[in-house]
Amino acid sequence: ESVSFMGGDTYDISVDTSGRVVLQSIEKEGIRMTQSFQFYKGAAGNNMVFSNRSSGAYIFRPNVTRAVDFNYNGNVQIFKGPLVEELHLTVNEWVSEVVRIYNGEDRIEFNWLVGPIDVNDKIGKEIITKYTTNLESNGQFYTDSNGREMLKRERNKRPTWNLHLQEPVAGNYYPVTTKIVVRDEKRKLRLAALTDRAQGGTSLEDGEIELMVHRRLLKDDAFGVEEALNETAYGIGLVSRGEHSIIFGSDSDEFRLHEKTEATRLALRPWVFISPVENISYDEWK
Amino acid sequence: EKINKFREAMGIMQHHDAVTGTEKQHVANDYSRILSNSMRDGNKLSADALRNMMKKDENTEKKVEFHSCLQLNISSCEHTENNKNFVVTLYNPGSQPLSTYVRLPVKGASYRVKDYLGMELVTQLVPIPATVSKIPGRQSSAVFDLVFLALSIPALGYQSFYISEKTQESEIQSDEPVND
């Protein structure tokens, strides 16, 4: 059956005409989120002076202050079943994802697949995914400290000195080992993005979470690697696949515990072993 | 000896270059080699440990094989794709019981999953996206992900599931009325 939305009893999830995933909570009134892929063009300089440094393995240095949208020329497919509902979205030839809602779970899984990053235009690119909500986070967000406690970050601010950022995007990026959170104090709501690996992340606008998922750059940044961050395999750029879990909830101790448990559960997944049993029936095996 | 090699590999991977990817390419390749070898040795060790926990079958000398699929992240696993009957064992490394959805790449059109009590579980087959099938270097004949819910895997313990591909013949048999 051809359907244009999914999300079980909890969410209404669809894709708009520009290829953004649009989510609305059925249970929690007023919660809306869009998710999209964008990219930064990496600065390419000669590294002779500070202002002419390239974006590379050590430094994230976009030459623009806003991420660029992808031209959406892809397609969407939705699959529904008793255990999982999936939305397969192809944004372009090298950016796609699967959005999943498992029966009985409140997290929304974004399984992204990015690469090989197209650099035929000779421009290095750094790909991000952005979760945009209507939460009023007041310039604040939280990132974990190597999987341990959450540290409060404030946009364009540092705790102990007056800051004037010359690079407003990179200067607001922080390490995210497992979790990044925005909260709306007035509405007592919270949005957490759980990652499956360490990534860079920020919140450049209120209610927004941005995570960098893949990078391919054509110039060395002169910090000692002496190689551009341009890894290839099979003669082309690398493909990266990973997962973000998004959870919404009230800004309560109970939800924070749930967030923690989910992060642990996703980080310590079971080890899967396969044993072929071609000539053994179930009863014999049992 | 095997666990020491794994421990050493994990130590090396804590170097800041390995964490952030600021190493030279040939170093990155070496890290992959070290980690991959350690995972392989770790798998042997875990398989031995699981074998020790299992009930011994006195009728057969044959050891049960336990294979890890290190490419499950790109929906590829030769052991689930090329076998019509296989057992999936999930080891829970956490200190709390765990319930989790399991996804396995398969090429058949219908599967039956039974737990150790003989209960048949609800399953779902979801197509593997074409974009995943086209990942360079991915060699897989899987067209679906087989999904089922594994309930209550004990803390620091394991649970196994018997999976068999449903043939047309077995489906016809299962539709027959059951006699008392």
**pLDDT digits over B96-128, tens only?**
999 999 999 999 999 999 999 999 999 999 999
Cα(A150)–Cα(A148) distance, rounded to whole angstroms?
Answer: 7
Chain A CB contacts of B123 under 8 Å are 83
Residue (of A108, A82, A113) closest to A97 by Cα position: A113
CA–CA distance, B52 with B74 (Å, rounded to integer): 31
pLDDT in tens, A166-189: 999 999 999 999 999 999 999 999
Q: Is the dihedral of CA A63, A200, A243, B47 positive or negative?
A: positive
pLDDT for B180 equals 47
Residue B148, chain A, CB below 8 Å: the answer is yes
Look at residue B61 in the predicted model and tell me its pLDDT.
62
Judged by a CB distance cut-off of 8 A, whether residue B50 touches chain A is: yes
The residue with greater pLDDT, B19 or A68, is A68
Question: Measured between beta carbons, which residues in chain B are less than 8 angstroms from residue A241?
Answer: 73-74, 132, 135
Task: Say what the pLDDT of residue B145 is.
Answer: 97
Q: What is the pLDDT of residue A96?
A: 96
User: Strand A240-250's sheet: what is its strand order?
Assistant: A75-80, A84-92, A95-102, A108-114, A240-250, A189-195, A179-184, A140-144, A150-154
- Cβ contact A285–B149 (<8 Å): no
Is B9 at the interface with chain A, CB within 8 A? no
Contact A138, A41 (CB under 8 A): no
**Angstroms from B15 CA to nearest CA on chain A:** 14
Interface test with A, best of B126, B148, B159 (most A CBs within 10 A): B126
Pick from A198, A188, A217: nearest CA to A119 = A217
pLDDT tens, residue order, chain A (286 aa) = 456 788 877 888 999 999 999 998 877 777 889 999 999 999 998 877 777 889 999 999 999 889 999 999 889 999 999 999 999 999 999 999 999 999 998 899 999 999 899 999 999 999 999 999 999 999 999 999 988 889 999 999 999 999 999 999 999 999 999 999 999 999 999 999 999 989 999 999 999 999 999 999 999 998 888 999 999 888 899 999 999 999 988 888 888 888 888 888 888 889 999 999 988 889 988 8
- Which among A173, A64, A84 is positioned nearest to A125, based on CA atoms? A64
Per CB-CB distance under 8 Å, the chain A contacts of B88 are 272-275
Q: Does B85 touch chain A (CB under 8 A)?
A: yes
Provide the pLDDT for residue B125. 97
Closest Cα partner for A238 from A213, A263, A202? A213
Query: Would you say residue B138 has pLDDT above 50?
Result: yes
B121 vs A: CB within 8 A: no
CA distances from A159 to A73, A153, A155, A208 (A): 44, 9, 11, 21
Average pLDDT over residues B44-73: 82
Is omega for the bond preceding A116 within 30 degrees of 0, making it cis? yes
CB-CB: which of B20, B114, B124 is closest to A282? B114
Q: State the ipTM, two decimals.
A: 0.90
Q: Which residues of A touch B22 (CB under 8 A)?
A: 57-58, 223-225
- The model's confidence at residue B59, banded by pLDDT at 50, 70 and 90, is low
pLDDT for A116 equals: 95
Candidates B19, B50, B101; nearest CB to A102: B101
Minimum Cα–Cα distance from A175: chain B residue: B20
Check whether B173 has a pLDDT greater than 60: no
Instruction: Number of A to B CB contacts under 8 A, please give it.
Output: 145
Is B124's CB within 8 Å of A82's CB? yes
CB contact under 8 A, A278 and B102: no
What sections of chain B are H helices per DSSP? 2-12, 16-20, 25-53, 78-81, 130-133, 168-174
- CB pair distance less than 8 Å for B89 and A275: yes
Band (pLDDT 50/70/90 cuts) for residue B60 is: low
